[in-house]
Amino acid sequence: MSSPTETEQCIKSLIAVFQKYAGKVRNKCNLSKTEFLTFMNIELAAFTKNQKDPGVLDCMMKKLDLNCEGQLDFQEFLNLIGDLAVACHDFFTRSQKCI
């Protein structure tokens, strides 16, 4: 079996990271609020520490928790990753002046 491509590795990593932080409290298929905060403070520490508003993580959790269950399923987690990736991509392409 050939080694995974960069895209396949990304998909594997997204699942692995989600499963690493989900399931310590209750359901293995969802990130509880506590698990979300742990994920943000470890996996996205650079982003999290840069936020001036102490309530930003609470706001993010509310915005991401589309079905208001008080936890994030994998699709809601991916929306977070997607939003961050789009923000980073926009930042890079603005500086590269996308033509």
Answer yes or no: are the C-beta atoms of 35 and 24 closer than 8 Å.
yes
- Looking at residue 25, what DSSP letter applies? S
- CA-CA distance, 78 to 22, in Å (whole number)? 13
Answer yes or no: are the C-beta atoms of 52 and 15 closer than 8 Å.
no
Per-residue x/- track, 9-48, a copy of itself (CB under 8 A): xxx-xxxxxx--------xxx---------x--xxxxx--
Cβ 72 to a copy of itself shortest distance, Å: 13
Does the footprint of a copy of itself cover residue 51 (CB under 8 A)? no
Does the footprint of a copy of itself cover residue 8 (CB under 8 A)? yes
Does the footprint of a copy of itself cover residue 56 (CB under 8 A)? no
